[in-house]
Amino acid sequence: MIKGKIKSIKTQLMLVFAISYAVISLTVGIICFLTMAAITVTENRERANEMVSIMEGYISPATVMDYVETGVISEGLEISLRQSVTILKSFKKVRNMGIYMYQADGSCKRVYEIISRTDDMHLEKLGKEFAKNGKNKAISGLYNGADGHKIFIYSKPVLDNSGKYLYSIQLSMDTYPDVLNNLYTTIELVIFMVMLTYLIHSVNAKTLDRVIVKPLKEITECTKNFRYKDQADSTENMRQLMEVEPKINNEIREVYYAFVMALRKTSEMWQEIDATKAELRHASFLAYKDPLTRVGNKADYDNKLKLIQDLPEYAIIVADVNELKYINDTYGHQYGDEYLKGCCQLLCDTFKDSPVCRTGGDEFTVFLTYDKYKLREEYMKQLKDRLKQIKENGDVPIWEKYSVAVGMADKQDAETIEKVVILADARMYKNKQEIKQGLHNYRTLDTAIIEKGQ
């Protein structure tokens, strides 16, 4: 699993859905709350206008103006005010109701408080609105009360028969209960939305499992069992993939078919690559193999020198086939080739698993490294013993009486690999002379030959 990231597409999509549902629920709740708040303002305005209209029916403008002029409440005004208070007590949300006179400059004079719970802190604002909009229009709105709660204030002008402004009947209403009711309603709605979205979320989860997650899992599990060794594996891969074909026609199915086509193309490409690799291997074989003996050729020999020159230990054996010219001249090149291949095979059998290269017409080189290097003396003794046995066997034809002169040198004998090769060649030449003289000590060299090799 990728660290710090969600791997499952189902988890990712469900997380997106959950966030979307939460945003939708919250948005709906906010819209609902604001809508109910607007409805509450409208209802309060209508209720306030109703109450003020009732007050207008009880209170005579003439008695009010007399009270303004004389400062004395007449009996008729007092009776009207008592009746008004009795009626207003049935409206529990009313905080304050009174008679006010607003001036052209925006100032306000309180004439009489019918219900006293002062909200005078907003008189200046209301006065400015009257001055701005004119005294003939009612003013209403939400304001902050002295106790921190939102209050609704409604101020309606009273005009005489000629349309002249006399005074305003003004009331304030407590909206805190309405806010609580709106909040409770919003919470209930949000809870309902959460439950509804949970149900939708569950349905979506099952749908995602069936339409997206399950087909993808089947395809993924199928591909985990794929093998890529040969064409039979490619055919089996295709068969397994066809068994998990998505049943629903959607984008997953399109991706599936695209994957199938890619697998087919890949199979074809691998066939071409395998054919090309086979051709390259054959070409490489021909480029680095001697066509007669099937051991490494001169190019392979040069590569081997580069590969071993930096090793801590190695030995190089130079071998030269004896009597090849005699067999070619006496019995023909066909037998000469058989003789050369037999000598080469003898070297390969003796120095088993070590590289052998043909570096000339009758010359070979053997490279000994690692464990084979440690057994170099034993290998040379085995070669000597085999050559002796072959020489003493009188039942084989001359072209099977293999004879090879060898010389060996290792990294400890010279400073560079080129000098090691020269020294091994010199020792091979010395061994060839010894063979002609009936001697077989391949390591014996006189001082003159060593100096010449170096």
Report the CATH number at residue 166: 3.30.450.20
Question: Which of the two residues, 190 and 304, has the higher pLDDT score?
Answer: 304
- Kindly state whether residues 372 and 281 are assigned to the same domain: no
pLDDT of residue 116: 63
- Kindly state whether residues 350 and 386 are assigned to the same domain: yes
Question: Residue 37: which residues within 8 A CB-CB, separation 6 or more?
Answer: 179, 182
Q: Does 218 map to a domain?
A: no
Written as one letter, the residue type at 101 is M
Backbone dihedral angles phi then psi of residue 75, each to the nearest 5 degrees: -60, -40
- Kindly state whether residues 141 and 62 are assigned to the same domain: yes
CB atoms under 10 Å from CB of 45, counted, come to 16
pLDDT of residue 135: 67
Strand order from edge to edge, sheet including 139-144: 108-115, 94-102, 165-174, 150-159, 139-144
Whole-angstrom CA distances from 355 to 174, 352, 380, 452 are 105, 8, 15, 27
pLDDT at 449 over 50: no
CATH of the domain at 362: 3.30.70.270
Q: Does 202 map to a domain?
A: no
- Kindly state whether residues 310 and 438 are assigned to the same domain: yes
Domains of the chain: total: 3
Pair 402, 389: CB distance under 8 Å: no
Per-residue pLDDT band for 299 (boundaries 50, 70, 90) equals: very high
Q: Does 190 map to a domain?
A: no
Query: Across residues 177-193, what is the average pLDDT?
Result: 70
pLDDT at 446 over 60: no
Query: Has this prediction a pTM greater than 0.85?
Result: no
pLDDT at 25 over 60: yes
Query: Across residues 92-118, what is the average pLDDT?
Result: 75
* Eight-state DSSP code of residue 400: G
pLDDT of residue 432: 92
- Kindly state whether residues 53 and 162 are assigned to the same domain: yes
- Kindly state whether residues 257 and 314 are assigned to the same domain: no
Domain boundary among 181, 212, 236: 181
Domain boundary among 126, 156, 181: 181
Q: Does 376 map to a domain?
A: yes
- Write down the residue that tokens 């229009």 correspond to: 137
pLDDT of residue 445: 41
pLDDT at 413 over 60: yes
Query: Across residues 198-212, what is the average pLDDT?
Result: 73
pLDDT at 43 over 70: yes
Q: Does 194 map to a domain?
A: no
Structure tokens at 433: 């002379």
Question: Which of the two residues, 346 and 283, has the higher pLDDT score?
Answer: 346
State the average pLDDT for the chain.
79
- Kindly state whether residues 274 and 303 are assigned to the same domain: no
- Kindly state whether residues 244 and 358 are assigned to the same domain: no
Per-residue pLDDT band for 180 (boundaries 50, 70, 90) equals: low
Q: Does 220 map to a domain?
A: no
Domain that holds residue 316: 298-453
Of the ranges 210-219, 282-291, 364-373, 422-431, which one carries the lowest mean pLDDT score? 210-219
Sign of the four-CA dihedral 405, 408, 414, 417: positive
- Kindly state whether residues 126 and 83 are assigned to the same domain: yes
- Kindly state whether residues 282 and 302 are assigned to the same domain: no
- Kindly state whether residues 283 and 246 are assigned to the same domain: yes
Query: Across residues 42-68, what is the average pLDDT?
Result: 80
Written as one letter, the residue type at 362 is D
Distance CA 306, CA 300 (A): 10
pLDDT at 8 over 70: no
Q: Does 204 map to a domain?
A: no
Q: Does 87 map to a domain?
A: yes
- Kindly state whether residues 101 and 128 are assigned to the same domain: yes
